[in-house]
Amino acid sequence: MIENSKLPNVQTTIFTVMSKMASDHGALNLSQGFPNFDSDPELIEAVSKAMKNGYNQYAPMQGDLALRERISEKLQLLYGKTYDVGSEITVTAGATQAIFTAIAATIHAGDEVIVFAPAYDCYEPAVALFGGVTKPIQLRPPSYRPDWEEVAHTITPKTKLIIINSPHNPSGMLFSEEDMLILQNLAEKHDLMLISDEVYEHIIFDGEMHQSAARFEALAQRTFITASFGKTFHNTGWKMGYCVAPKALMKEFQKVHQYNVFCVNTPIQKGLASYMEDPQHYLSLPKFYEAKRDFFLNLIKDSRFHITPSKGTYFQLLDYSNITSETDTLFAEKLTKEYKLATIPTSVFNKNKENFHQLRICFAKTEDTLKQAADIINSI
């Protein structure tokens, strides 16, 4: 028995809790962030072909060369930044592994890491595991804009790293060009590293542009960018992602990566490399998901929930403050058990579990599922 847990305060994730509650009570599950429609048959066929052609043994530690080439081409096309396929790109077992590896490679005991809350729940445990200290900056509704003065005042001589996520889960907020320029100045001034969690980079609405850290040269030189093929190509169960970073940072990243997973699924990498030869497979995503967002929001426009349309990701916040004063955890449980609709309470990701009376739903679903969800929401 382990007497001194390295993560004594870590419990089962809210995603697992709510998905199990949905299953136990026969509820429609809009809680966990995964599509309930199939991947493109062309991509499935490309992976199947790779398996049949014998690509079933270890891939190179950094990832399949052709896939790294497609990643480099994509970043150049979208952001005008070239990453070297030999020394600056690593294919990972999902973005979460990439984030964990970047933290493992950089954080020592006592180092401080600034995150923006509500924050994806893998950040803080990874920092704690390596002896670091998380310093959360609370983002607030309705805009969820960063308070850069607060960020500047939070930076100390112990601050080593800032983690950002844009498009932002769960709020759907986007970091603007101005935000990134301010961040770049702070990072240079205080010699900070950055992890830029960009898993929803292709899911942005209303003509907005993703402000990747790769667009800002001085920032890119001190940033690990993490991304997800699962989020992009509707196959989260494949657990495929990647990390790009300048050579010096990637060298440290790969020291951890090679003894953590060493390499990831070979035939899927081969299939993705083939599939990504056509950039339209990811360039078409903004309109695809914007149509789903608009379809869903139109269905629930007359409900009692207050809604600020998501600017990115496939998540939407529902403000229920006009319905009840219950905490979001209690209200989410009530919706699941009594109304048969599973959502995610957002307070669990906030600093000090602050409650803004908002629930997160995932609209990466079929129209039939969204219609069923809207009927429930409109009945509340």
CATH number of 42-280: 3.40.640.10
Q: Are strands 89-92 and 112-117 parallel, antiparallel or unpaired?
A: unpaired
Asked whether the predicted pLDDT for residue 3 surpasses 80, the reply is: no
Q: Residues of CATH 3.40.640.10 domain(s) within the chain?
A: 42-280
Q: How far is the C-alpha of 229 from the C-alpha of 268, rounded, in Å?
A: 10
φ/ψ region of 238 (left if φ > 0, alpha if ψ in -120 to 50, else beta) reads alpha
Q: Where in the chain is the domain with CATH 3.90.1150.10?
A: 14-32+284-379
- The predicted-structure confidence for 222-252, as pLDDT tens digits, reads as follows 999 999 999 999 999 999 999 999 999 999 9
Distance between CA 127 and CA 186 in Å, rounded?
Answer: 21
| Maximum C-alpha span of the chain | 59
Q: What is the DSSP string of 230-245?
A: HHHTT-GGG--EEEE-
What is the tens place of the pLDDT at every residue in 252-272? 999 999 999 999 999 999 999
Instruction: Report the C-alpha gap between 98 and 191 in whole angstroms.
Output: 22
According to DSSP, residue 199 is labeled T
Q: How far apart are CA 228 and CA 96, in angstroms?
A: 9
- CATH, range 14-32+284-379: 3.90.1150.10
Tens digits of per-residue pLDDT, 61-73?
Answer: 999 999 999 999 9
pLDDT exceeds 70 at position 1: no
Question: What confidence tier does 175 reach under pLDDT thresholds 50, 70, 90?
Answer: very high
Angle (CA) 197 81 145, round 5°: 40
Which residues sit opposite 135 in a β-bridge? 114
Residue-wise pLDDT tens digits, 99-128: 999 999 999 999 999 999 999 999 999 999
| Tokens matching residue 88 | 């600056």
- The Cα 22–Cα 341 span in angstroms is 7
Supply the pLDDT for residue 59.
Answer: 98
Q: Give the span between the Cα atoms of 190 and 290, in whole angstroms.
A: 38
